[in-house]
Amino acid sequence: MAKVISMKCMKCGREETPRPDRYTCDTCGIDGILDIIYDYKSTPLTINDLERNPDRSLWRYRCMLPIEAETPVSPLQVGWTPLYKQTRLEREFGLGNVFIKDDGRNPSASLKDRASAIGVAKAIEAKAKAICAASTGNAASSLSAFAASMGIPAYIFVPKRAPRAKVAQLLVYGAHTLLIDSTYDRAFELSVEASRRYGFYSRNCAYNPYLVEGKKTVAYEIWEQLGYKIPDRVYVSIGDGCITAGLYKGFYDLVQIGLSDRLPRIIGVQAAGCNPMEVAMKTGEFKEQTPDTIADSIAVGVPRNRLKALRGLKASAGECISVTDDAIRESLVGMPRVTGVFGEPAAVTAYAGFRKQAHSGVIGNNETVVILITGNGLKDIESALSVCTMPEPIDPTFDAVEKYLR
């Protein structure tokens, strides 16, 4: 296993001794998000081993994850999601190599499962009696599934406007569900307080430093599925910034252990109605916002993992852009009709960001581009239906069929 040396504060640089239930820096408090620091000299990941490894899940990278060798993990199959080549998009934009990584193919239908797999394992290491999370929806449904698979009670804080399918997931998995009559940002604060008062293990990606380590496996997979090559650009939507941070960490690891010699440019995409990261990248200053977007999973006015995400965007020579809700709505149907992949609004935001840059001609035709689809479209069918026209029922006669076809 890759040896964890310390947990280092992103704000003040102070290093803490690793402990499964340490979340933030003692000096900086909640803004002092920690980063897991490895001894890369001891890392055992090799291409030879990968080629011989039959495991088609994120556990094929277990040696790069901060989990003890004997810790039990959930049997749910997470990761090793498909990377599809997009010949239609390549033709449309005159590009050579465009791929979609469909992480909606995970057990609870979002990329959040990569973090929950780790979160539940860490909860077991911490001997926690229960686990809690605040979520715009997907982290919650994901945690509920993983907690159920390991028999750990889950307490979930979600804003009441979370899409119904996501709430349905919480209920069927049997999570204790607190529908908060407020925003995600408020639900987050309440969950942190509940974790503190009742000793619940906190699966808040925005804050628990181990979770980003699960999300980094998506970068390893992209590298491995491209034939051990690093793409030039990766498009990813940004809410709290944990996925962005995870992508960067995965690609960074590969450079540190000598399996790659460069990083891809990470292009973060936000909704124009909630773009605090874009503003922070452009002005160097962070300002809280009140979210106003159809893309609920990235309606985050106070991105908790902004320091880690900003580091990833800057260190990778990336950037953060935004797209309008109209562009997101267009992509809700536009992407499935061109790619066969159905994403929820926050997921197609990355696709809309790709289209925006492809149209403006900033992508070189020899570049390899990956668009990360973070959640399945069935998560939010209200939004999908809002951009489609429901057909009127027709008579069950062949005359009616003929009339329709004419």
Ligand X SMILES: *Cc1c(COP(=O)(O)O)cnc(C)c1O
Q: What angle do CA 346, 350, 354 make, to 5 degrees?
A: 155
Q: Which of 117, 230, 242, 294 binds ligand X (CB under 6 A)?
A: 242
Q: How many helices (H) and strands (E) does the chain have?
A: 15, 14
Q: Which of 3, 12, 85, 362 binds Zn ion (CB under 5 A)?
A: 12
* DSSP E strands, 195-333: 201-202, 233-237, 265-271, 319-323
Element (H, E) at 135: none
209 binds Zn ion (CB under 5 A): no
Q: Least separation, in Å, of the C-beta of 27 and Zn ion? A: 4
Phi, psi torsion values for 139, nearest 5 degrees: -60, -35
Residue nearest to ligand X (CB): 375
Residues 342-361 within binding reach of ligand X (CB under 6 A): 344, 346-347
How many Å apart are CA 241 and CA 115, to the nearest integer? 13
By the rule CB under 5 A, 104 interacts with Zn ion: no
- From residue 24 to residue 63, the character string flagging contacts with Zn ion as x (rule: CB under 5 A) and all else as - is -x-xx---x-------------------------------
Mask: binding to ligand X, 281-300, rule CB under 6 A, as x and -?
A: ----------------xx--
Subset of 204-233 contacting ligand X (CB under 6 A): 205
Helices (H), ranges, 126-265: 138-150, 164-172, 184-198, 209-215, 217-225, 242-256
- Interface with ligand X (CB under 6 A), residue total 19
Residue number with CB closer to ligand X (103 or 125): 103
Q: Which one of the spans 3-11, 130-138, 191-199, 204-212 is the region binding Zn ion (CB under 5 A)? A: 3-11
Candidates 1, 4, 5, 11; binder of Zn ion (CB under 5 A) is 11
Beta bridge partners of 179: 158
Of the chain, the end-to-end C-alpha distance in Å amounts to 64
Tell me the per-residue interface mask from 362 to 381 with ligand X, x by CB under 6 A, - otherwise.
------------xx------
Q: Collapse the DSSP code of 322 into the 3-class scheme (helix H, G, I; strand E, B; otherwise coil) and give the result.
A: strand
Query: Which of the choices ligand X, Zn ion, none does residue 78 contact, using the CB cut-off of 5 to 8 A by kind?
Result: none
Query: CA-CA distance, 81 to 85, in Å (whole number)?
Result: 13
Distance of alpha carbon 114 from alpha carbon 116, whole angstroms: 6
Binding partner of residue 125 among Zn ion, ligand X, none, CB under 5 to 8 Å per kind? none
Residue 344's binding partner out of ligand X, Zn ion, none, with CB under 5 to 8 Å set by partner kind: ligand X
When the beta carbons of 238 and 259 are compared against ligand X, the nearer one is: 238
Task: Name the segment binding Zn ion (CB under 5 A); options: 5-13, 178-186, 193-201, 283-291.
Answer: 5-13
Nearer of residues 209 and 241 to ligand X, judged by Cβ: 241
375 lies in the site for Zn ion, by CB under 5 A = no
- Give the one entry of ligand X, Zn ion, none that residue 218 binds, where binding means its C-beta sits below a cut-off of 5 to 8 angstroms depending on kind: none
Does residue 169 bind ligand X (CB under 6 A)? no
**Sign of the alpha-carbon dihedral angle for 392, 397, 400, 406:** positive
Other C-beta atoms within 10 Å of 232: how many?
Answer: 16
Q: Please, how many CA atoms are within 13 Å of residue 209, restricted to the half-sphere of its CB? A: 27
Name which position in 8, 105, 112, 203 contacts ligand X (CB under 6 A).
Answer: 112
Q: Tell whether residue 10 is a contact of ligand X (CB under 6 A).
A: no
Tokens standing for 193? 């307080």
Shortest gap between Cβ of 297 and ligand X (angstroms)? 4
Query: Six-digit token pair at 38?
Result: 């490895």
Smallest CA-to-CA distance from 275 within 243, 306, 317 is with 306
The partner in contact with residue 332, picked from Zn ion, ligand X, none with C-beta cut-offs of 5 to 8 angstroms by kind, is none
DSSP 387: T
Using CB under 5 A as the binding rule, whether residue 338 contacts Zn ion is answered as: no
Characterize the bridge pairing of strands 29-39 and 24-25. antiparallel
Give the alpha-carbon dihedral of 302, 305, 307, 309, to 10 degrees: -110
The residues binding Zn ion (CB under 5 A) are 9, 11-12, 14, 25, 27-28, 32
